[in-house]
């Protein structure tokens, strides 16, 4: 029998312990693919968020929430997707790991009456001169993921949640992204990147003597 590329030895031991090896193999045979379908594309390109799992050079894992307006993730090839990196807290935990270890996992979730989830595993690259840069307003970098494993997951444990509105901080055409409140805090202000300081200074000058927004973390 051809050995699975999806399951580790640890997964196999647990499958045997709980008598799930047969169904695990069937799912791999019937669900696992290496190319995006039209259904995958529609799901991914209408998603307003996903979770990005990375690991650094020493294998220490991290996971990050990535949000944007629908369309901020695009399927750019039969087995490739791309998304922008927006201005954040400047820690670059996820992208820093990608620079050392290209292995990534992405989890897309659709909440609501018809829940759905999709996993994508592959290798990522980062490019600040990517031709997609002009298409994503205020993007810092573009991340491209070459997918090796794409598979739908059972959605039965996804809670019924509804998106009431998109974050006002999300970049998009015709949208002004305000400075987050924590960047106004004196604890952090003198350490901010110059572009954030410029925006804050310009904003405060426009207040013309009025009280500026509070210093919340």
Cα three-residue angle 167-138-198, rounded to 5 degrees: 95
Please report the pLDDT score of residue 196 as a whole number: 83
- Round to whole Å and give the CA distance between 134 and 114: 34
136-163 burial, b if ≥16 CB within 10 A, otherwise e? beebebbbbbebebbbbbeeeeeeeeee
Q: Would you call 16 exposed, middle or buried from its count of C-beta atoms within 10 A (0-12, 13-18, 19+)?
A: exposed
Please report the pLDDT score of residue 14 as a whole number: 98
DSSP string, 119-171: EEEEEEEEETT-TTGGGSTTEEEEEEEEEEEEEEE--TT----------TTS-
Please report the pLDDT score of residue 217 as a whole number: 42
Q: Which two tokens stand for residue 162?
A: 């509804």
Look at residues 78, 107, 83, 79 and name the one whose alpha carbon lies nearest to residue 95: 83
Residues in the chain, pLDDT under 50: 1, 214-217
Q: Supply the pTM of this predicted model.
A: 0.86
Please report the pLDDT score of residue 110 as a whole number: 95
- Round to whole Å and give the CA distance between 135 and 132: 5
Please report the pLDDT score of residue 210 as a whole number: 53
pLDDT of 159-202, one tens digit each? 999 889 999 888 888 777 778 888 888 888 888 888 888 878 87
Residue 63: CB partners within 8 Å, gap ≥ 6?
51, 52, 53, 54
Looking at the DSSP bridge assignments, the partners of residue 100 are: none
- Round to whole Å and give the CA distance between 55 and 61: 4
Give the strands of the sheet with 139-153, arranged side by side. Answer: 61-67, 49-55, 103-110, 116-127, 139-153, 80-86, 74-77
| SS3 state at 49 | strand
- Round to whole Å and give the CA distance between 212 and 205: 10
């Amino acid at each position: 029998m051809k050995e699975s590329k999806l399951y580790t030895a640890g997964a196999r031991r647990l499958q045997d312990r709980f008598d799930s090896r047969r169904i695990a193999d069937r799912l791999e045979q019937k669900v696992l693919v290496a190319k995006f379908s039209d259904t995958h594309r529609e799901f991914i390109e209408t998603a307003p968020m996903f979770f990005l799992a990375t690991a650094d050079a020493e294998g220490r894992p991290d996971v990050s929430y990535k949000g944007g307006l629908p369309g901020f993730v695009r399927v750019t090839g039969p087995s490739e997707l791309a998304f922008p990196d927006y201005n954040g807290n400047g820690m670059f935990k996820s992208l820093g790991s990608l620079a050392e270890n290209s292995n990534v996992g992405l989890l897309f979730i659709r909440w609501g009456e018809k829940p759905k989830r999709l996993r994508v595993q592959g290798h990522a690259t980062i490019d600040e001169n990517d031709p997609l840069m002009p298409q994503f307003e205020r993007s810092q970098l573009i991340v491209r993921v070459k997918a090796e494993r794409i598979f739908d997951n059972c959605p039965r444990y996804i809670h019924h949640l509804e998106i009431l509105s998109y974050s006002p901080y999300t970049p998009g055409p015709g949208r002004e992204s305000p400075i987050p409140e924590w960047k106004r805090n004196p604890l952090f202000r003198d350490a901010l990147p110059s572009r954030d300081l410029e925006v804050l200074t310009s904003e405060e000058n426009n207040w013309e003597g009025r009280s500026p927004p509070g210093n919340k973390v």
